Structure 1
């Protein structure tokens, strides 16, 4: 694999919040989102300063957990439209520095289809962000098939982001849900997509899995075995979970080294890895430390840096926004 040196990291896992979004989330009961101590602040100016300090050329903005659907379809449609238009304005005001993944008001399928058309055709979205579940509806749910059919038809980039499972009151044991629950909810929803056959039915989807795949690198063979057991048919091979997982992209947000990226590279090739900061939910000092760790880590491609490798992969995935 030959990787040209290219300027600037491309951050595919970057978040933003607005005062209006935080106000509406708090009104819906998300005072301490996912058990975190507080909502972060965000501004384009502060984000650009962070990017410039760390050699990040372009960041793709998305709304993180808890997403935009707080229980009412109409309110979720309005909030999705609001945050998508906000993100589009940021991208337009800073050409080349920001792109964005549009939020959808799932599990409202009709609202999601309307927002897909508006986000791509009117706002110029670079993809969509999907929470791992919305009110317990996971991404392999058959009710979401029209959404994935449309995203597959558009060959859309689909950035997954974990959120709290519906059972978090018992499973999180009083700890912040991003610590453990997010890791397993990522594995849960990707496994659901595999078992439902969604990825096979819609090969045009370009899926980005966050946080080095969560628990997937160590669960891949186990999932594959169960798919063989439950989905195999006489005279026909069962869908190959490992092969499907190898076709997805994975960002390096979170504690990528010394253990998570090496585990991920046991599952996928280096051409599937992307850089992610998780800013603004990861504070500035955490981003500074993370990128220093990534920069210093061994690179699996001779003659490449993590910057050149992940940026080349991002340019292949997102060519419109990252055109030279």
Structure 2
């Protein structure tokens, strides 16, 4: 069995949860409550599911709760912890460092510390930060530095602005997260970010959300109604992103994703610890029972792709 590389794996610390709860995130993103995480439990899940290495990151609601100074301190604390886990068990863990978006100065300082001092495999941002989406021009300095480094950026969905009005009391991860990833990726294309900073490696989650079926529609509106069609076609730009298979990739989402954008940038993601153990194990098992890609397996394909994306980080 090929040991999977899990690029979408989360951790929690007591201090982080306490800070989020104090900021009002008692039921984060409309979920019933906070997940529970421990290193021992995570390793047990990995061993059972056949996961060789997990790249840890902090999930939504991220680290910025309204105050730049507090967000910088919280980002540093969770990044030091996550990088410490990776340093202690480099054969099993790596780390994507949280950036305190929308704080540009703080994010520049944190990405420098994470990549130069902590040895993080990349950075993690949310699909929006207090309503600011990643195509916004205020992030130019951050993206220029990430592009200079050819850094990996893991983009995790979060609740959209006015989530209470659109989620109808249901957890945002059920539907809204899918459209958040779609909005954020489209914003990067239409804002010209992907074209201006081609060396950044972007990872999007949950089989690309609705991107496989909406890419042609975005192109149509850019051509006909916006009057500013991208120099590189929308679908071609989206095919240059990386996508993990967290959530429910089979029987529909993964074939739609590969049909739209190919399979050379497909990665495995468990979404543990926010995905409970039984569901995470069922998802990993589905990689083996689903119809396999031509000439390979989902395990082999996603693992080989992960090694191409993160060759300096993965030890197995």
**If the TM-score is normalised by the length of the shorter chain, which range does it land in?**
over 0.9
Q: Is 1:252–2:207 an aligned residue pair?
A: no
Residue 239 of structure 1 aligns with which residue? 232
In 1, Cα distance between equivalents of 2:294 and 2:97 = 33
Shift of 1:301: 2.6
Which SS does the other structure have where 1:250 is aligned?
strand
Q: Is 1:318–2:307 an aligned residue pair?
A: no
> Does the 8 Å CA contact 2:30/2:171 hold for their aligned counterparts?
yes
In 2, Cα distance between equivalents of 1:205 and 1:90 = 25
Q: Is 1:55–2:47 an aligned residue pair?
A: no
1:6-31 Cα offsets, whole Å, 9 max, x none, are 84000000000111100000000000
User: Aligned match of 1:97 in 92, 105, 117?
Assistant: 92
Shift of 1:228: 2.1
Residue 259 of structure 2 aligns with which residue? 266
> Does the 8 Å CA contact 2:133/2:187 hold for their aligned counterparts?
yes
After superposition, where does 1:288-299 map in structure 2 within 5 Å? 288-299=281-292
In 1, Cα distance between equivalents of 2:144 and 2:227 = 22
> Does the 8 Å CA contact 2:122/2:154 hold for their aligned counterparts?
yes
Which SS does the other structure have where 2:155 is aligned?
strand
Q: Is 1:71–2:74 an aligned residue pair?
A: no
User: Aligned match of 2:121 in 119, 126, 130?
Assistant: 126
Which SS does the other structure have where 1:271 is aligned?
coil
Which SS does the other structure have where 2:260 is aligned?
coil
Q: Which of 209-218 and 6-15 deviates more?
A: 6-15
> Does the 8 Å CA contact 1:315/1:323 hold for their aligned counterparts?
no
CA root-mean-square deviation? 1.2
> Does the 8 Å CA contact 1:14/1:277 hold for their aligned counterparts?
yes
Shift of 1:321: 1.4
After superposition, where does 1:1-324 map in structure 2 within 5 Å? 7-229=2-224, 230-232=226-228, 238-302=231-295, 304-324=296-316
In 1, Cα distance between equivalents of 2:298 and 2:180 = 27
1:69-115 Cα offsets, whole Å, 9 max, x none, are 00000000000000000001100111210001000011000000000
In 2, Cα distance between equivalents of 1:79 and 1:318 = 26
In 2, Cα distance between equivalents of 1:307 and 1:180 = 27
> Does the 8 Å CA contact 1:227/1:241 hold for their aligned counterparts?
no
In 1, Cα distance between equivalents of 2:239 and 2:286 = 25
Please give the TM-score of this superposition, normalised by the length of structure 1: 0.95
Which SS does the other structure have where 1:107 is aligned?
coil
Shift of 1:323: 4.3
> Does the 8 Å CA contact 1:227/1:238 hold for their aligned counterparts?
no
> Does the 8 Å CA contact 2:90/2:315 hold for their aligned counterparts?
no
> Does the 8 Å CA contact 1:252/1:275 hold for their aligned counterparts?
yes
